[in-house]
Amino acid sequence: MRIDKFVSLSGFGSRKEAKAILKSGGVTVDGVVVKNPQTRINPDVSVVYVGGELIEYEKYVYLMMNKPDGVISATYDEDEKTVIDLLDEKFQWFDLFPVGRLDKDTTGLLILSNDGGFAHRALSPKKHVKKVYRAEISGEILDRHITAFAAGVVLDDGYRCMSAILSVIPGSTRDLAEIIIREGKFHQVKRMFEAVGLSVITLKRVTFAGIWLDESLAPGAYRRLDEAEMQIIGNLLSKD
103 is catalytic: yes
User: Quick one: pLDDT at residue 8?
Assistant: 86
pLDDT, tens digit, 9 for 90 and up, residues 120-143: 989 988 889 999 999 999 989 999
Q: For the chain, where are the E strands, in sequence order?
A: 27-29, 32-33, 48-50, 53-55, 62-67, 97-98, 107-113, 131-138, 165-168, 176-181, 199-208, 211-212, 222-224
Mean pLDDT rounded to a whole number for the chain: 93
- Average pLDDT in the 169-184 region? 91
Q: How many CB atoms lie within 10 A of CB 86?
A: 17
**Among 103, 105, 175, 214, which one carries the catalytic annotation?**
103
| pLDDT score recorded for residue 235 | 86
Are 121 and 237 contacting, i.e. CB atoms less than 8 angstroms apart?
A: yes
State the distance between the two ends of the chain, measured CA to CA, in whole angstroms. Answer: 32
For the segment 147-176, the average pLDDT, to the nearest whole number, is 94
Q: CA-CA distance, 135 to 179, in Å (whole number)?
A: 8
Residue 124 backbone phi and psi in degrees, to 5: -65, 130
In this predicted structure, the answer to whether residue 74 has a pLDDT above a threshold of 70 is yes
> What pTM was estimated for this model as a whole?
0.84
Q: 39 by DSSP, 3-state: which? A: coil
Q: What are phi and psi of 87, to 5 degrees?
A: -85, 150
In angstroms, the CA 119 to CA 96 distance is 11
Position with higher pLDDT, 13 vs 197 = 197
For residues 54 and 129, the answer to whether their CB atoms sit within 8 Å is no
Q: What is the pLDDT of residue 240?
A: 61
Measured between alpha carbons, how far is 227 from 152 in angstroms, rounded to an integer?
Answer: 36
Domains and CATH numbers, the chain: 3-55 (3.10.290.10), 62-125+222-238 (3.30.70.580), 131-208 (3.30.70.1560)
Give just the sign of the alpha carbon dihedral 136, 141, 145, 150: positive
